[in-house]
Chains A and B, each alone.
Chain A
Amino acid sequence: MLATITREDVYHALEQVMDPEIPVLSVIDLGMITGVEITEGQPVLVRMIPTFAACPAVSYIKDNIRTVVEKALGIAVTVEIDKQVHWESNRMTAAAKEKLKNFGIAPPPVLEGDVRPEIMLNTPCPHCGSEHTYLRSPFGSTLCRAIHYCKSCGQVFEQFKPLE
């Protein structure tokens, strides 16, 4: 049974594991998966990384990965936190950024080098697309979000922060 399961099968199953704080994004969309290992006679090993060090959802996501993949593929799964890799917002796929925008959260811009304060200015509004916006707070309803205000449509909106 195990021999017939490929890494692609596992990645495919992982697309069904959604982030509890942003339910339109999967752990694949977010770039949280750093590796999948299949060794005969052993549980499939999935390596993952949290977005922020203090993310309170990590153990919840870990459990979710295990249960969803086990159920989809009928195999035993072990999930490990990968300490060799750290999450940065550039790990998020372009498709994920589009989904995020449609969900009403401004996606992080692509980072070239370190985060500088200027990068938080004129973030395009996910509702009307205007860049006539300002940063109200670098902190939001979850650790990964900042709060902006759009002067064009008069709405407060959240952004998934760029992280280096």
Chain B
Amino acid sequence: MISNAALTDLIIKMADDELIQGHRNSEWTGLGPVMEEDIAFSSMAQDKIGHAWALYRILHENLGGEDPDRFAFMRPEKDFRCSHLVEMPNGGYDFSLMRHFLFDHAETVRYESLQDSSFEPFQLLSKKIKGELKYHTLHANAFIMQLSKASEEGYARMQTALNDTIALAAGVFEPSAAHEEALMAEKVYPGEKELYHRWLDRIYPVLVKASLNLPDMNTITPVYGGRQGFHTTHLAPLLKEMGEVFNLDTEASW
């Protein structure tokens, strides 16, 4: 039997990534370079926050966790388990798009693997999320290819964005020192290392089509720390803004 602590740790990481990336996506609302892109990032924001909510609900209903809204908006920064990748400010469209591409493929391999999880709530939820993510990766792949082929400047900017983002993205797959082995042994999921390799297999063909060069992954040091509660300076201001309305009156009924 897998411990609640191990499951809780895994779910919080996944949900916090969804919530924070969802918030970052929402920051493009009203600012997208063209109308369709504004709508795309806003829709993906809504999807991601919905996925975070569904995961917080599993914590609440199956593992004795707190109410999802309170858990999302009232936790101190040190209790968040998101990766540094999602904490980074949006920067330019090149960075946002590359992060979206790398992150959504990372999510896709994760949720695909959870269809076979020994933890039943994962099986049900992952089927749903995996179908919705198809549109996120479809969007990301199309734009990565389009912008890389658009002009010399477009190509150079996408390659720079990839170089700047890859170590952060590899950091999504930070294993848990305390729980990783148990989660794998109990077949909750295949483990971060396996997911990392599946992720590389997914992003590589798209990068090739876009003529972008994947940096030598053996020379990359993945940016770890987020899963242990160590965060960049960008997270605290984000949490403050995200929880601002909720924390005006935490008992209000919406």
Contacts and interface: CB of A to CB of B under 8 A. Distances in A.
Contacts of A140: 39, 43
Given A143-B46, A163-B131, A54 B51 contact: yes
A164 interface: yes
Contact of B47 (A88, A120, A141, A143): A143
Contacts of B51: 53-54
A138 B139 contact: yes
Given A53-B132, A115-B134, A120-B138, A86 B47 contact: no
Q: How large is the interface on A (under 10, 10 to 19, 20 to 34, 35 or more residues)?
A: 20 to 34
A66 interface: no
A158 to B, nearest CB: 11
Nearest to A116: B134
B44 to A, nearest CB: 7
Contacts of A139: 36, 39-40, 42-44, 135, 139
Q: Which of A83, A140, A147, A164 has the most CB of B within 10 A?
A: A83
Q: How large is the interface on B (under 10, 10 to 19, 20 to 34, 35 or more residues)?
A: 20 to 34
A146 B130 CA distance: 18
A143 B133 CA distance: 12
B124 A84 contact: yes
Given A139-B36, A140-B39, A53 B124 contact: no
B54 interface: yes
Interface string A74-94: 000000000110111000000
A14 to B, nearest CB: 23
Interface in A113-164: 114-115, 117, 120, 136-141, 143, 146-147, 161, 163-164
Contacts of A54: 46-51, 53
Contacts of A53: 47, 50-51, 54, 125, 128-129, 132
A2 B37 CA distance: 52
Given A117-B138, A138-B138, A164 B131 contact: yes
B127 interface: yes
A137 B131 contact: no
B216 to A, nearest CB: 29
B46 A56 contact: yes
Interface in B11-50: 36-37, 39-40, 42-44, 46-50
A86 B130 CA distance: 12
Interface string B111-136: 00000000000001101111110110
A161 B50 contact: no
Nearest to A52: B132
Contacts of A143: 43, 46-47
B46 A136 contact: no
B134 A137 contact: no
Given A53-B54, A54-B49, A139-B43, A83 B124 contact: yes
Interface of B: 36-37, 39-40, 42-44, 46-51, 53-54, 124-125, 127-132, 134-135, 138-139, 141
Interface of A: 52-56, 83-84, 86-88, 114-115, 117, 120, 136-141, 143, 146-147, 161, 163-164
| A-B complex: 4 closest residue pairs judged by Cβ atoms | A54-B50, A137-B36, A139-B43, A139-B40
